[in-house]
Amino acid sequence: MITITAQGKDIPALGFGTYKLTGAACQTAVAKALEIGYRHIDTAQFYNNEADIGTAIAASNVAREDIFLTTKIWPDNAVEGKLQSSFDESLKKLKTDYVDLLLIHWPSSPAPFAEQMKALQSVKDAGKAKLIGISNYTIPQMQEVVEKIGAPVVANQVEYHPYLSQKPLLDYIRAHGMFLTAYCPLAQGRIANDPVLGKIAKAHGKTTGQIALRWLLQQERVAAIPKAGSEKHIRENFEIFDFTLSDGEMNEIFALARPDGRLVNPQGIAPKWDKAA
């Protein structure tokens, strides 16, 4: 397993995403992921599956301290008082007294950033979140949070895959000792028939998905959280540590980025995105 060290913690770079997994299907998938070897599980209040994940973790043979668990506060809850109370509910559902990383899900809360960060910090100070961070924040928003407010955010979880460049954001993240967690790392399946990825996959005896994930994890301070429901895909996404992409192959994949590559842009919630590199 590749790990990222940030603020004294070692974070498994490959995580298991759970968006749209609920109920028994979610419990089965998380249980299988833990059995296969995943030690980084990602969820959110919005996913409505924290209780399912808590059940799966509690029933597993993996010790809680060996799992890096992330959840996210929905923007409506990201105000003083409500953040703390809603997070306590999340902890009850997750059947744990702490998470390893707590994020603000989108930068669209009615509360100013200073209030959000103060509330996040209070949760961290109470020992209920080992690390705190943000999700879907732009560079100007990160500058306000990190430089103006001085919040000790460790990560920004954003959409990142071969069709969407995040170079300016990554440059900022690296310069400030943070890491980027890539969601939609397989571009919602759109990479499956990509000829460039297909050629590289054939050379390594891998799938296009495995190539895309390896490309992400070979980048400095980048984690990825692919979601999968079937055991086949859960296992496939994990089998990316037995090969390495060359510099030439990495650059071929970087060249796939395009101006219209973004897939996730919810109206009324998403910020005005950074200009594509």
Q: How many domains does the chain have?
A: 1
Other Cβ atoms less than 10 A from the Cβ of 20: the count is 12
Averaged confidence pLDDT in the chain? 97
Q: Say whether 172 is catalytic.
A: no
Share of the chain above pLDDT 90, in %: 99
| 2 occurs within a structural domain | no
- Residues 38, 47, 163, 172: which is the catalytic one? 47
Q: Smallest Cα–Cα separation from 40: which of 15, 17, 61?
A: 15
pLDDT value of position 253: 98
- CB burial string 228-240: b at 16+ within 10 A, e below: beeeebbebbbeb
| pLDDT at 44 > cutoff 90 | yes
Q: What is the pLDDT of residues 87-98, one digit of tens each?
A: 999 999 999 999
Residue 245 sits in a domain whose CATH number is 3.20.20.100
Domain membership flag for residue 112:
yes
pLDDT tens-digit series, residues 191-209: 999 999 999 999 999 999 9
Query: Which of 255, 250, 228 has the alpha carbon at shortest distance from 239?
Result: 228
Strand-pair partners of 70: 42, 101
- What is the spatial distance between Cα 178 and Cα 6, in angstroms, rounded to a whole number? 7
Q: Is residue 259 part of a domain?
A: no
pLDDT for residue 275: 84
Task: Tell me, yes or no, whether 267 lies in a domain.
Answer: no
Query: pLDDT for 149-180, tens place per residue?
Result: 999 999 999 999 999 999 999 999 999 999 99
> What average pLDDT does this structure show over 77-83?
98
Please give the C-alpha separations between residue 264 and each of 3, 5, 101, 110, 145, in angstroms, as whole numbers: 27, 28, 22, 21, 23
- Position 277 pLDDT exceeds 90: no
- Whether 221 maps to a domain, the answer reads yes
User: So what's the pLDDT on residue 261?
Assistant: 96
Please report, in angstroms and rounded to a whole number, the separation of the first and last CA atoms in the chain: 30
| pLDDT tens profile 106-147 | 999 999 999 999 999 999 999 999 999 999 999 999 999 999
Per-residue pLDDT, 111:
97
Mean pLDDT of 229-252: 98
The domain of 209 spans 10-254
Question: Tell me, what's the pLDDT at 185?
Answer: 98
- pLDDT, average across residues 47-70: 98
Is residue 130 one of the residues assigned to a domain? yes
The answer to whether residue 92 is domain-embedded is: yes
Q: Is residue 261 part of a domain?
A: no
